[in-house]
A = this chain, B = another copy of it.
Amino acid sequence: MSADRAARALRDQVAEGALSCGTRLPEERLSASLGVSRNTLREALSQLVAERILVRAPHRGVVVATPGADDVRDVYRVRLLVEPGVCRDTTAHSTGGLAAVRAAVTEGRAAAAAEDWPGVAGANQHFHRGLVALAGSPRLDAQMELLLAEMRLFFQRMGAPEPFHRPYLEENAAIANLLEEGRGDDAADRLTSYLRAAEHQLVEAITALDGSGPRRS
């Protein structure tokens, strides 16, 4: 479908920072630049609004969402519920799934060695995506995909400090080890404190920004 391609293009542009938080997306101009009709573009925009990447104000157009501290807390509330839960249910962990998690760890280390910080961020996302994929649930995968897209928005908003993901690489490795040893509960506990720390860091960064910038509107 053409609308899906447009939606993906916009999603990527937001993730890469080509469209920063709060920028308006006029339908006429955007449809021309993406080479689709306005109707098709509208379908793509609706999709991204449903994904919380864009926000629509009736008769006022859509803008790139400007997530606040509340949004960070809510995303982490879900992640704290889902990700450790998946770790604990070791019966579902296939060797293929664990291999994918392991691959994300080595990918992250390679990227860090090359000082490729976007690569580290990507590897980190692959790690968490792989973690959730251990459950083998398409619906959970889809939900996680949404959350990760929002996470990219968070990083985009706070300027994505280069070595932000650095300290989590070793945590990822430790969790992968625990999972491979079948110690799902230990992995879950470690992941929980790790996520809480990351949440705190993000909330701090975003509340600092919220002092000068407006909210989601």
Cβ-defined contact, B140 with A81, below 8 A:
yes
Contact of A50 among B50, B86, B135, B147 (CB under 8 A): B50
Q: Identify 30 residue pairs between A and B in the complex whose beta-carbon atoms are under 8 Å apart, listed by A's number.
A: A1-B58, A3-B46, A39-B39, A42-B43, A43-B46, A46-B46, A46-B47, A47-B50, A50-B50, A52-B139, A74-B137, A74-B138, A74-B139, A75-B139, A77-B135, A77-B136, A77-B137, A77-B139, A77-B140, A78-B139, A78-B143, A81-B82, A81-B85, A81-B86, A81-B89, A81-B135, A81-B140, A85-B85, A139-B147, A143-B143
Shortest Cβ distance from A171 into chain B, in angstroms? 22
Shortest Cβ distance from A108 into chain B, in angstroms? 26
Chain B hits for A82, CB < 8 A: 81-82
Compute how far the CA of A86 lies from the CA of B52 in the bound complex, rounded to whole angstroms: 23
Contact of A78 among B3, B52, B89, B140 (CB under 8 A): B140
Chain B hits for A75, CB < 8 A: 139
